[in-house]
Structure 1
Amino acid sequence: MKIAFIYIAEPYQCYHTASVASKLAAMPNCEVTEYYSFPETMEHLVRIRAALNEPNLEAHPLKKSWKAKFLKLAKRLDQERILVLRENVQALNCYDAIVATEYTAGILKKMGLKAKLILMMHGAGDRYVNDEHLVKEFDLTLISGKKTKEDFKRKGFIKDETTRVVGYPKFDVFEAIRKKQAHPFSDDCSFALYNPHYKRNLNSSPVFMNALIKGFTEQHKYNLVVAPHIKQFYKSFGIKKYRLKRLQSAKVLIDTGSPAMLDMTYTSQTSLYIGDVSSQIYEFLAIPRPCIFLNPQKIKWQDDPHFLHWTMGDVVEDIDDLMPAVEQAIERHALYRPTQEKLFKETFGYPLLGASQRAADAIMDFVAKSMASR
């Protein structure tokens, strides 16, 4: 049995599936190969395998034409991703199954992919994603919990017979890495995490970033880690990173690309989460703690399932209300803790650990039955 794992976007993807690839590779008669688009993905794969005490797997860069390379250089990443998939269909057809963690890979079927296509979902948030309809193109979908399964069934994207609820493999990776974590500040002061998303119409940082950094610099209760979604930086040609880094101080750490942004280092250690629509809020709630959501666009979010996570903390719309909300977050947490625990359980289920093995077992069972029925 030959299975390929493809990482067609930024390195954060491998924290969701690399552990599953390792579990499959350890099974008898299963050959696993990984393909990646961003060269730095290899550094993260090696780091994950070292933490898991697993051997590195055979890995290759995805083939790219001059046109694909130009699109990446021009930061036209969505177009580049589609072209790269088209240019690699023939090579991927040499495998019995392809495992991807991005909806975009669903178009491989329309490009002539004959191998079985498996989706190992990354993230577990509520945000609407405009290409999530491509879930319908996958032969098998592996989902973290009942919340997403019920949502996709309601939308007609999945069927029970081609869906398995396996949990969240990223927790297995985090459990291995956390033993080597260090506190991000030299003092022992607790810190808040600001984790804005990259979507332009939902991103809170243009309005709140400077006020947040100024407010935390002037108070003494918390330090602050600013760790935006890594996609914020891929289209700015380094300008956004440079401007942000200039705001760093002894009390404010600006992270624009370290592994700690991706492996739950910050979400596990922080005492207060501040964000907008990133799915990392659910990873943070493995330990229920206070959180604040920023809504500068004044979106009418109540009763909208795509903003369900905003029911787990105070929602701030105006800059003047920001620091008062930070000051009151701990005492107000009791109002939200029952909702946090409920939504976390619906999102990931239990047990939290072992999802990598459950996902590998589901893939092996599915591919074996598919091969037997040929």
Structure 2
Amino acid sequence: MKKICFLFNHDQTHQIAHSLPIALQMIGSRAAEVTIAVTSAVLEGEIRRLSGAALQGVNIIQLNTQSMLSQLLVRGLDKVVPARKILIYRDNLDFFRQFDALVVSEKSSLILKTRYGLRDLKFIHTRHGAGDRAIGFNAESAQFDLILVSGEKIRERLVHDAHVAQDKIRIIGYAKFDIAAPDRKPLFPHSDRPTILYNPHPSPHLSSWFEFGADVLEQFYHSDRYNLIFAPHVMLFARPWAMTIDRLSIARAKKPARRYYDAAHMLIDLGSAACTDMTYTNAADLYLGDVSSQVYEFLFRPRPCLFLDAHQTDWQGNANYRHWTTGPVKTDASDIIAAVDEAFATHAAYSDAQRAVLQDSFSVTDELASLRGAKAIIDYLGEPR
């Protein structure tokens, strides 16, 4: 029986649901010996919350930095860069060597192959999200042995942009949809008002937050037309400074003013579980954002979208911004309430575009995506290499 490790190694919990449903299918079928490894108690807690009774009797291994040098580096650097996430690999090489395959939703684990030489370990990527950003299709993707993707759009771009061999890719659908968001009480006292979700991305060179965010919140604060959920990407305020490496950029992540928390028609959530389990994408009537892949989770039930371009982007015909074809794009933060009104009024004009991106982004069959993913892994590991 193959030994497979599902690794959850991130500062936040937003990637868990992209591979956990596949792990649960494999545990239930007993088709492989599955180990779940985490790098924090927060990750373990969210895994147990999402899994419920399905994890009963399953041991979750918590990995830690072990050397004194690593611990010193974490204390000195982790508030600025994800030092702990990278050092975890070096300090646990013997742990990773025992497995036939490592299943991950991000790419940092590739350091085990490229830096530490674990070339007998098969690296399986579930990805996280069905978004369009270029970083999702960079050259690193080709270093995985198997990639599980949600739809034809992802497969095509991996082949074309990242030069991934077609036989490394399996289309399985979107496993996150197999974990239902929990039922919650109404989010606002005035539930008859339409609800807007503002969901900016953390990357300074792409996000609307750093240029437009304060104006957006202030205008909703003074309006009685809509309820507003402000639930940005959970990494936006994870550190005092937001930084990206795909295109080096840095900006101070200044949090919203306290008065917004006290407004009955505004919900400010900078990182609870509801930010990542589709609670807000399911609850909203309109999506307001920029480049976050959460727009695709919102669009799985088509509704109006409005996008904010704070960078004068030449986006038409650019695959990295295909989601911007599903709603109007605004290049300033003035009259945001009127722009939302217009997005509701013109939604029908974007129906065809929304249907097209959904068809390309999500493969839907009678079989759960998580089960398709589990079968793909077992089939791959059973093939002669």
TM-score (norm 1): 0.92
Shift of 1:212: 1.5
* Cα distance in 2 for residues equivalent to 1:252 and 1:216: 8
Equivalent in 237, 260, 269 of residue 247 of structure 1: 260
Q: Secondary structure in 2 aligned to 1:186?
A: coil
Q: Report SS of the residue matched to 1:289.
A: coil
| Distance (whole Å) between structure 2 residues aligned to residue 105 and residue 240 of structure 1 | 27
Letter in 2 for 1:118: I
Q: Which residue of 2 aligns with 1:358?
A: 372
Distance 2:257 2:298 in 1: 23
Matched, 1:236 2:243: no
1:264 matched to 2:278: yes
Residue number in structure 1 paired with 2:29: 27
- The equivalent residue for 1:282 is 296
* Residue 168 of structure 2 corresponds to residue 162 of structure 1: yes
**Quick one: which of 110, 113, 126 aligns to 1:106?**
110
Q: CA 1:251–1:102 in structure 2 vs 1: closer, same or farther (change >3 Å)?
A: same
For the structure 1 residues 252 and 93, does the alpha-carbon distance in structure 2 shift closer, same or farther, using more than 3 Å as the test? same
Distance in 2 of aligned mates of 1:88 and 1:141: 24
Instruction: Determine if contact 2:137/2:162 at 8 Å carries over to the other structure.
Output: no
Counterpart in the other structure of 2:94: 90
Any idea what the Cα deviations from partners look like across 1:225-268, whole Å, max 9, x if unmatched? 0001111122129x958645542221111001211100001001
Match of 2:288, SS? Answer: strand
- Matched residue type, 2:328: D
Deviations 1:166-220 (A, max 9, x none): 011100012xx34x23322233133100000000111111222222122222323
What number of residue pairs does the alignment pair up? Answer: 367
2:17 paired residue number? 15
1:140 aligns with 2:146: yes
SS of equivalent to 2:323: helix
1:307 aligns with 2:296: no
User: Is contact 1:167–1:352 with CA below 8 Å preserved after alignment?
Assistant: no
Distance 1:44 1:129, change over 3 A: same
Moved over 6 A (4+): none
1: CA distance between counterparts of 2:189 and 2:30? 47
TM superposition shift of 1:57: 2.8
Distance 1:199 1:103 in 2: 17
Return closer, same or farther for 1:275/1:42 CA change in 2, 3 Å cut-off: same
Q: What secondary structure, in the 3-state scheme, does the structure 1 residue paired with 2:320 have?
A: helix
Structure 1: unaligned runs, 5 residues or longer: none
Q: 1:118 to 1:244 in 2, by over 3 A?
A: farther
Change (3 A) 1:315 1:67: farther
Query: 2:188 matched to 1:185?
Result: yes
Distance 1:66 1:274, change over 3 A: farther
Alpha-carbon RMSD = 2.2
Structure with the higher helix share, 1 or 2: 1
Structure 2: unaligned runs, 5 residues or longer: 242-251
For 2:109 and 2:283, locate their aligned partners in 1 and report how far apart those are by CA, in whole Å. Answer: 33
Question: Residue in 2 aligned with 1:121?
Answer: 127
8 A Cα contact 2:221 2:260, kept in partner: no
In structure 1, distance between residues paired with 2:203 and 2:72: 24
- How many Å apart are 1:30 and its aligned residue? 1.8
Secondary structure class of the residue paired with 1:12: coil
Indicate how the Cα distance of structure 1 residues 130 and 139 shifts in structure 2: closer, same or farther if over 3 A, else same: closer
Structure-2 change in CA distance of 1:268 and 1:25 (3 Å): same
Deviation at residue 90 of structure 1 after TM alignment: 2.4
| Alignment check: 8 A CA contact 2:8 2:104 kept | yes
How far apart, CA to CA, are the structure 2 residues paired with 1:353 and 1:245? 46
Identity of aligned residues (%): 33
Kindly state the Cα deviation for residue 72 of structure 1 after the two structures are TM-superposed. Answer: 4.1
Equivalent position amino acid for 1:140 in 2: L
Q: Which residue of 1 aligns with 2:247?
A: none
- AA of the residue aligned to 2:364: Y
Secondary structure (helix, strand or coil) at the match of 2:313 reads coil
